[in-house]
Amino acid sequence: MNVINNKEKFMKEALKQAKKAYDKLEVPVGAIIVKDGKIIAKAYNQKECKNDTTNHAEILAIKKASKKLNSWRLIDCDMYVTLEPCSMCAGALIQSRIRKVYIGALDEKTGACGSVLNLLEDYKFNHKVEIETGVLKDECENLLKDFFKTLRNLKKKG
């Protein structure tokens, strides 16, 4: 399997996580962390169901990967995430020393990996995280659009 297909394969896994969030009526965002070609952590947004705003998919994935590796330093690890990380999550990517983040949909309102600002590349922090955007962009965007449409319909009915 070539590199391009691998990227899509891993983003599909992140999308599976996002769908788990959707099923719980959480904003559908999923993230996975890969090291040496293997998935070491999977997570989805659980902000509302756990009443904890730090429970974004990316933070939960970082916590799981750190536990798995028994280290807070996620050296040679890459994240695949269906939506561009916010400032909190981009900051966590820097803190955790993640090597690269692959992003599906962009977030023009809160995205901190190039949309509103670029925490990962534009500042002299002690670690820089590489960014690649547009991986399965349409699927990631469509899942979000579909979710917010569903949510509006539920509110109309409710």
Q: Would you please indicate which residues are annotated as catalytic (active-site) residues?
A: 58
Q: Is 30 left (phi over 0), alpha (psi -120 to 50) or beta?
A: beta
Stretch binding a copy of itself (CB under 8 A), from 23-31, 76-84, 117-125, 130-138: 117-125
Q: Is 156 left (phi over 0), alpha (psi -120 to 50) or beta?
A: alpha
Q: How far is the CB of 156 from a copy of itself (least distance, A)?
A: 23
Considering the rule CB under 8 A, would residue 5 count as an interface residue with a copy of itself?
no
Chosen residue from 23, 24, 25, 53 binding a copy of itself by CB under 8 A: 53
Q: How far is the CB of 138 from a copy of itself (least distance, A)?
A: 26
What's the first-to-final CA gap in the chain, in angstroms? Answer: 47
3-state secondary structure 37-58: CEEEEEEECCCCCCCCCCCCHH
Q: Which residues of 46-76 are buried (b: 16+ CB within 10 A; e: fewer)?
A: bbeeeeeeebbbbbbbbbbbbeebeeeebee
Q: How far is the CB of 1 from a copy of itself (least distance, A)?
A: 31
Distance set, CA 73 to CA 50, 86, 119 (Å):
26, 20, 19
Q: How far is the CB of 68 from a copy of itself (least distance, A)?
A: 10
101/119 with CB nearer a copy of itself = 119
Considering the rule CB under 8 A, would residue 108 count as an interface residue with a copy of itself?
no
Please give the residue ranges that form the binding site for a copy of itself (CB under 8 A): 47-48, 51-54, 56, 59, 62-63, 66-67, 70-73, 86-92, 94-96, 109-110, 112, 116-117, 119, 123-126
